[in-house]
Amino acid sequence: MRQRIARLCWLTALCVGVGVLVGLSPSFAGDRQTTIKAWVETGTFDQYYPEMMETFEKKNPDIKVDWFVFPWVGHIERYSTAIATGTLPDTGATYVGLFATWLYPRNILLPLDDFMGEGGVTKDNIPAIEDLDYLYKGNVYAIPFVYGIYIYAQNVDMFKRAGVPLMPQDHPLSYEEYVEISEKLTKDFNGDGVPDQYASAYPGTPAPGTGDDVFPIFRTAGVEVIEDNEFGLNNPTGLKALKWLINYGKKYSPLGTAGMDRPEVKALFNEGIVAVERTAYPSRFFTEWPESYPDLNVEPAMPPRWNKAEGTGYGCADAYGIFKSSKNPELTWRFLQYFFSKENEIFATSKTGRVSCRRDVGGKYIPMETDFAKRVMEVTERQAPFAKGEERHPAYAEAYEIALSEIQAARLGIKSPEKALSEAEKKVNEVLKKYEGF
C-alpha cells in the first residue's frame, strides 16, 4: 500500500513537473496568452514592426499583440467608426493635434500618469509630453513617438536638367526666391506647350494631415487658423498667402493638384514629375528613396519662409494612448513601455532613420556612415529651432477641416479667395462659440 502511495506521489510530481515544462511550450503558453489590439502607423516604419513585435512577445510570452498597420489616409474615419461601434483597439496611434483636441474631450482615453515612471517613460526623458501639450486638464493622455520636422526633398537630376542650382541646405529661401527657382524648374522640354516637369505641388483635399503641407504657408506668413479663439486667416496676411498658393499652383504645379491628397502628391515626386517635395521625416531619405526608388537622386533642403522667425512644422507629433474600453490596460501599458523603451527606440532609429522623442536617443543612433546621411541630419537640426507645434484648441480638427475645404474651393476656382476666407471665418467662428474662454 505504501509502495502504491509512493508510486502515485511520484507520478503526481512527475505530471506536475511535466506540466511546468509543457507550460514553456508555445502551445501551452498560447492558451495562457492575453491578446491586446494595437493600431500602428503605416509609412516608413512598417519594416521594423514585425521584428519589434516578435522581440516583445518573446520577452512577454503571456501577451499576444494583434497589430494592424492602418493607412494614414482615412484613419480618422476608422477611429470614428470604431468609437461609434465600440470596436476601438487597446492602443492606437494618431498625431497629437487630434489626440489633444478630438480624443481627449470625448473622454475615451485613460490618463497615463499612474503608469508612467517605468521603462524610462517619463516627462523628463520624453519632454515633448509637456512641451507640446500631450496633457489634458493636467493629466497625460498620450506619449509621442516620432520627432517630425519638415524639410524639403529635391530631385537633383531635375534641377540639373533645368540648369537650376539646388536649394540651400544651410538657410531658408524667402517665398519670393522660391518662386524664382520654381519658374526655372517648370520646363516644357519638348515644346508641345505642356511642361515636362514641374517645381512642386501642394495637396488640397480637406483631410487630416493634408493641412500639414498647406498651412505652413500661412504659418510662416504669420497667421494661424485659430488665434485667440477666433478664425485667424481672414486678414490681409492670410489673403496674401492664399493668393500665393493659388497662383503658385496655376504656374508651377501639375493640373489637378488642388484636388489631390498627400499620397498622390507624394507620388508626383517619386515619379519625377515634380522636383521638390515637403516631407516630415528624415527617415524617408534613408529608407523609401534608396529602397523603393533607387534611381531617384535626392538631396535635402530647408523649406522657404515668409518670415524667417516663424515656425514651419512641428516637433514630436504622432503619439499613442490607451483607450478606456481596453480590458487589459496594464498589459497594454507593458507593450507601450517596451515600445518607448530605450532598447526599442534605438532599434527603431537604426532601422528607419526616425528621430526618437526620447531625450537619451533622439537621432543619435541613425546610421551616419555616409556624407548624404550627415547632410540630411544637418538640415534637420538647422530646421529644428523653427519647428512649431500645431494648435491645441478643442476645435482643432473641425476648424482645420472647414478652413481646408474653403481653401480648396478657392484653389479650384469655385470661390474667390476673399469669399472663401470670409465663409471659412463665419463657419469656424460659429464652431468656436462653443469654446469661449478656452
pLDDT along the chain (438 residues), means of 10: 38 35 39 89 75 95 93 78 93 75 78 82 86 76 84 96 97 95 96 95 78 86 91 97 96 90 91 92 82 93 87 76 95 94 91 86 84 90 79 76 93 96 97 81
Strand 34-41 versus strand 91-95 pairing type: parallel
**Residues ≥6 apart with Cβ < 8 Å to 438:** 229, 393, 394
Edge-to-edge order in the sheet of strand 63-70: 63-70, 34-41, 91-95, 318-322, 143-144
pLDDT for residue 137: 76
Q: Which tens digits make up the pLDDT trace of 3-31?
A: 433 333 333 333 333 333 333 334 344 45
Q: Is 73 left (phi over 0), alpha (psi -120 to 50) or beta?
A: beta
**97 three-state secondary structure:** helix
Find residue 70's DSSP bridge partners.
41
- Specify the CATH superfamily of domain 34-146+316-361: Periplasmic binding protein-like II (3.40.190.10)
For the entire predicted model, the pTM comes to 0.80
| Chain mean position to CA 101 | 16
- Give start-end residues of each CATH 3.40.190.10 domain in the chain: 34-146+316-361, 151-313+389-435
Q: C-alpha grid cell for residue 14?
A: 512527475
DSSP letter (8 states) at residue 24:
T
| Chain mean position to CA 165 | 30
pLDDT for residue 101: 62
Find residue 94's DSSP bridge partners.
319
Q: Are 119 and 338 in contact (CB under 8 A)?
A: yes
**60 three-state secondary structure:** coil
Geometric angle at alpha carbon 404, from 398 and 409, rounded to 5°: 130
Answer positive or negative: Cα dihedral of 358, 360, 366, 372: positive
pLDDT for residue 60: 96
pLDDT for residue 87: 95
Distances 53 to 61, 68, 437 between C-alpha atoms, Å? 11, 11, 44
For residues 73 and 359, give the distance between their C-alpha atoms in angstroms, rounded to a whole number.
Answer: 30
Q: Are 234 and 216 in contact (CB under 8 A)?
A: no
Find residue 65's DSSP bridge partners.
36
**Cell numbers 489637378 label which residue?**
256
What are the backbone dihedrals phi and psi of residue 369, each rounded to the nearest 5 degrees, phi first?
Answer: -70, -25
Residue 14, number of CB atoms within 10 A of its CB? 10
Fold exhibited by the domain 151-313+389-435: D-Maltodextrin-Binding Protein; domain 2 (3.40.190)
Residue type, 290: P
User: How far is the first Cα of the chain from the last one, in angstroms, to the nearest whole number?
Assistant: 83
